Amino acid sequence: TQNTAIAYRAAMLDSLGDPAEIGLTDCIRYFEDGLMLVENGKISALGNAPDLLPQLPQGCEIKHYPNALITPGFIDTHIHYPQTGMIASYGEQLLDWLENYTFPAEQQFADRQHADEVADIFLTELLRNGTTTALVFGTVHPESVDALFSKAEQRNLRMIAGKVMMDRNAPEALTDTPRGSYEESKALIERWHGKGRLHYAVTPRFAPTSSAEQLDLAGQLLKEYDGLYMHTHLSENRSEIEWVKELFPQQNGYLDVYDHHQLLGERSVFAHGVYLCDEECARLSETGSAIAFCPTSNLFLGSGLFNLPQTEQHRVKVGLGTDVGAGTSFSILQTLNEAYKVMQLQGVRLHPYKSFYLATLGGARALQLDHQIGNLEPGSEADFVVLDYQATPLLSYRMAQTRSIEERLFVMMTLGDDRMIKHTFVMGEPVYNRD
C-alpha cells in the first residue's frame, strides 16, 4: 500500500499562522466537506471534496468520515516518558515532588527492560491521544533513550528526545559527570540523530542539577552537530528560581545562566517560563528560542500562571506541553482545556483558533518542523487525526447545538479527550484505531 494514493473525506481543519500575527480570519483553513489526498506518506492535495473528487487518480480509494473532523496530529513540545508511571502523585510542589516521586521513578530506568516497557506504553498513550510528535525527556541513563528511539523508529514517528544531563543536587544513582554526560550524549547523537524521523535533544535537566562545567559541555555539543535541539526547564516555580540565584550568583537571572553557556537558539525549547521578565522574553525572541507552555503541570504543581500575551508581545515562539508526569493528561485537548482556564484566571480570553495553533502549527514552529508537520499543507508529512464529534453522549448532544467550526472547536477542547480520537495516522499509515 506504500505507493497507492488514498483520499480522506471529512471536515478538515488546519492552522495557517499565529492569530496574534495574522489575525483570526486568516489564521485558519476549514473545509466543511474536505478532501485530502495522501501519497507516499505525504499530503499531495487538500481542498473541497466537490472540487477535488473529479481529479482523483484512477481507482483511488476514498475513506469517508461523516461526523468527524480531520486535523494535523497534535504536537507535544514537552513531556517526560519516564514519568508515565508516576503521573498523579499527590501533594507537593516542584522541588519536593522531584525528590519524593520523580527521582525514585527515574532510578528504575537503569533497567533496560523497564525502559522498553514504559517506552511502549508511553508511545501508545501518545498515539491514542492523537499526539504524533513530541519533544521528550529521558532519564540520565543512555539506555532510556535507546529504548524510546527504538520504539519510535519501529512506529515511524517524528520524535525528539535526549538523555538527561545531571551532575549534582540529585541522588547518586541519577547523576553523571560533565565528561561522562558529554560522551554518552555524543554516542546517542551518533546513533540516532537524523535516523529516519528522529532527532536528538541535548537535555540538561535544569540549571540546579548541572554544574557550570556540564552546561558548558552541553553548549559545546550543540556546536558539533547540525540540527540538534536543546531541551530544559526554565522559571517554573518561585523556590526553584531563588535556588538558581543562589547557585549562580554571578549570572543575571535564570535565563542568563543558560545564555552564558550558549544554550539559547532556534532549536532550544524551555519548558514553563512562568516567571519571565521583559528582558528575558526579548532575549528568547532574539535568539529564536521557544517556550513550552504546560498548563496542566503549572496548575497541578501550583507553579503559577503562564503569561501568554507577554510572549506574544515579544514574539517568542510558544508550543504546548503536557509535561507528564507533572502534567495530568496526555491529551492535548485536555491541556487546552486547562490553558483556557489559566488565561481566564488572568482575565485573558484564549481563542480556540489560538489554542488550535498552539497544539499544531505553533508546536511545529517551536520545534522548527513546520515544513514537515503542523498543518495539512500539500507537501507535509501525513501525520493526522480523525476526531469523532460523537465520542460521548454529552459531546454528541452539545455538538448538535453548535453553528460554527469555531464553536465546535471550543467544545472539543473543553469536553474532548482521548475518547475523541477515532484514528491516528502517521506518514499516511494508521497507527491507532479506537474501535
Per CB under 5 A, residues contacting Zn ion are 271, 323
Residue 98 near which of ligand GUN, Zn ion, none (CB within 5-8 Å, type-dependent):
ligand GUN
Size of the site for ligand GUN (CB under 6 A): 11
Q: Counting contacts by CB under 6 A, is residue 102 touching ligand GUN?
A: yes
| Residues between 220 and 259 with contacts to ligand GUN, criterion CB under 6 A | 233, 236
Q: Counting contacts by CB under 6 A, is residue 207 touching ligand GUN?
A: no
CB neighbourhood size of 223 (10 A): 9
C-alpha distances (whole Å) from 149 to each of 152, 201, 338, 415 are 5, 12, 30, 33
- CA gap 348, 108 in Å, rounded: 42
Q: Which residue has the cell 484514528?
A: 423
Cβ 423 to ligand GUN, closest distance in Å? Answer: 31
Cβ 250 to ligand GUN, closest distance in Å? Answer: 22
| Residues between 310 and 329 with contacts to ligand GUN, criterion CB under 6 A | 323, 326
Taking the least distance from each CB to ligand GUN, the nearer of 219 and 327 is 327
Q: Counting contacts by CB under 6 A, is residue 80 touching ligand GUN?
A: yes
Supply 7's cell numbers. Answer: 483520499
Residue 205 near which of Zn ion, ligand GUN, none (CB within 5-8 Å, type-dependent):
ligand GUN
Supply 320's cell numbers. Answer: 504546548
Q: Counting contacts by CB under 6 A, is residue 141 touching ligand GUN?
A: no
Residue 236 near which of Zn ion, ligand GUN, none (CB within 5-8 Å, type-dependent):
ligand GUN
CB 203 within 8 A of CB 232: yes
Q: Specify the stretch interacting with ligand GUN by CB under 6 A; choose among 94-102, 222-230, 344-352, 354-362.
A: 94-102
Residue number, nearest CB to ligand GUN: 326
Which residues lie near ligand GUN (CB under 6 A)? 80, 94, 98, 102, 205-206, 233, 236, 297, 323, 326
